[in-house]
């Protein structure tokens, strides 16, 4: 699908966009006050306003914050706002991408080391905690910290002290922690990837950043904002989104959120011609979204049978073709074994010959013909 954005800007388009811009500024100032920290925020949806109000409130405290949200929603930007609105704004906010630190360098990266502490330590080095003293330490992708090293981090968070590698001197720090993850930390705790005590220490104030699909009122404003800034950056255009294109952008799910929207706009401007700009991939949606199209809301009788056959086959393959008993296919599907056997005969579903054992053939389980007796396991 190809969408064209015309270079010619009609006067009513300009008037409409100017009116929207004025409304945004008024709305934001009324909702969160004339805070300069939010000057580069684009949007006026109720969801966004609630998030910014929460940020404004929690920024004044020293409590740890756990920011959750899908990739591309702007978790790092929210962390910067928390620091900028806090009493610590005169000090630094140090960012650590936990996913990019090798396990063997974790302690050195966070706590620093002394010269000669290990091979390659040619000079003293301050760690991230020392650099962030008096300020904020942003732990991005905190769930990526190796489980065996999380206890060392927990000790610093609880006692506010540590030692550099190769040093016996204990150093004290005053650091506010803001952590972020695109995973559900509770699920990571259940999986054993995140210590429960560390989770509770970081999750004093939970903050969820809404995905773009929950901010439909902001999508067009963001798209036009990125379009304007990209045109200036690439010295193209100027372009504007037409009314039909704005509607189309609002309907898109944007699984990559703001990052995806910005990248699509930049790619479109970069590939534009003198007179027009094409959004070749603007509305290409994931498969899970496409199944909800109007033409996919029903199945023909033949399609329904094929879907049911595929579902039964998938359940059988998952349990290695066992029909009855605990963990059998019948139990997975929620039907009696006799019903499953009847449906297997109806759809001519049989265990592949390559998977049939000699013992099964001796027992007459008819792997090749699919005639499985009710209640019998395979």
| Number of helices and strands in the chain (H, E) | 16, 9
d(CA 320, CA 356): 10
Superfamily of 62-208 according to CATH:
P-loop containing nucleotide triphosphate hydrolases (3.40.50.300)
d(CA 314, CA 321): 9
Report the DSSP pairing between strands 161-163 and 170-172.
Answer: antiparallel
* pLDDT at position 375: 39
What is the percent of the chain with per-residue pLDDT over 70, rounded to a whole number? 75
* pLDDT at position 194: 95
Q: What is the DSSP letter of 316?
A: H
Cβ atoms of 334 and 328 within 8 Å: the answer is no
* pLDDT at position 35: 45
Q: Is the pTM of this model over 0.75?
A: no
In order, the DSSP letters of 135-198 are SEEEEETGGGS-GGGHHHHHHHHHHSEEE-BT---EEE---EEEEEESS-HHHHHHHTSS-HHH
d(CA 228, CA 61): 37
Which band of pLDDT confidence, cut at 50, 70 and 90, is reported for residue 327? confident
Q: How many CB atoms lie within 10 A of CB 311?
A: 11
* pLDDT at position 46: 87
Using CA of residue 357, residue 362, residue 365, residue 366, what is the dihedral sign? positive
Mean pLDDT across 236-240: 81
* pLDDT at position 201: 96
- pLDDT tops 50 at residue 22: no
The ranges assigned to domains in the chain are: 1-45+215-294, 62-208, 301-362
- pLDDT tops 80 at residue 150: yes
Pick the CATH number of 1-45+215-294 from 3.60.21.10, 1.10.8.60, 3.40.50.2300, 3.30.365.10: 1.10.8.60
Mean pLDDT across 99-122: 90
- pLDDT tops 90 at residue 111: yes
Mean pLDDT across 216-221: 88
Higher pLDDT, 16 or 189: 189
In order, the DSSP letters of 248-307 are HHHHS--TTHHHHHHHHHHHHHHT--SSEEE-TTTT---HHHHTTSGGGS---HHHHHHH
- pLDDT tops 50 at residue 34: no
| Class of domain 301-362 as given by CATH | mainly alpha
Q: What is the DSSP letter of 118?
A: S
């Amino acid at each position: 699908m190809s969408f064209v954005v015309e270079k010619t800007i009609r006067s009513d388009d300009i008037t409409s966009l100017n009116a929207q811009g004025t409304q945004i500024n008024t709305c934001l100032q009324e909702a969160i006050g004339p805070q300069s920290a939010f000057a580069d925020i684009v949007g006026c949806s109720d969801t966004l306003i609630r998030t910014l109000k929460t940020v404004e409130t929690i920024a004044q405290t020293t409590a740890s914050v756990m920011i959750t949200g899908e990739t591309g929603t702007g978790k790092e930007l929210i962390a910067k706002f928390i620091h900028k609105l806090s009493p610590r704004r005169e000090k630094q906010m140090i960012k650590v991408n936990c996913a990019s630190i090798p396990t063997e360098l974790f302690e050195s990266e966070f706590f620093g080391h002394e010269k000669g502490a290990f091979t390659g330590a040619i000079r003293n080095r301050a760690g991230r905690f020392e650099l962030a003293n008096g300020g904020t330490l942003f732990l991005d992708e905190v769930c990526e910290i190796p489980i065996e090293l999380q206890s060392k981090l927990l000790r610093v968070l609880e006692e506010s002290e540590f030692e550099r590698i190769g040093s016996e001197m204990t150093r004290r720090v005053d650091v506010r922690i803001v952590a972020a993850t695109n995973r559900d930390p509770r699920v990571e705790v259940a999986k054993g990837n995140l210590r429960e005590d560390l989770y509770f220490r970081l999750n004093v104030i939970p903050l969820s950043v809404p995905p773009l699909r929950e901010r439909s009122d902001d999508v067009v404003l963001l798209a036009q904002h990125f379009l304007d800034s990209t045109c200036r950056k690439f010295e193209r255009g100027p372009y504007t989104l037409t009314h039909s294109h704005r509607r189309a952008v609002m309907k898109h799910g944007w699984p990559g959120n703001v990052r995806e929207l910005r990248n699509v706009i930049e790619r479109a401007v970069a590939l534009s011609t003198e007179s027009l700009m094409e959004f070749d991939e603007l509305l290409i949606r994931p498969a899970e979204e496409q199944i909800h199209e109007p033409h996919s809301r029903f199945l023909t009788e033949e399609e329904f049978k094929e879907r049911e056959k595929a579902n039964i086959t998938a359940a059988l393959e998952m349990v290695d073709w066992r029909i009855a008993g605990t963990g059998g296919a019948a139990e997975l599907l929620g039907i009696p074994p006799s019903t499953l056997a009847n449906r297997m005969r109806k759809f001519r579903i049989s265990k592949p010959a390559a998977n049939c054992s000699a013992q099964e053939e001796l027992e007459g389980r008819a792997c090749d013909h699919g005639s499985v007796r009710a209640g019998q396991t395979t």
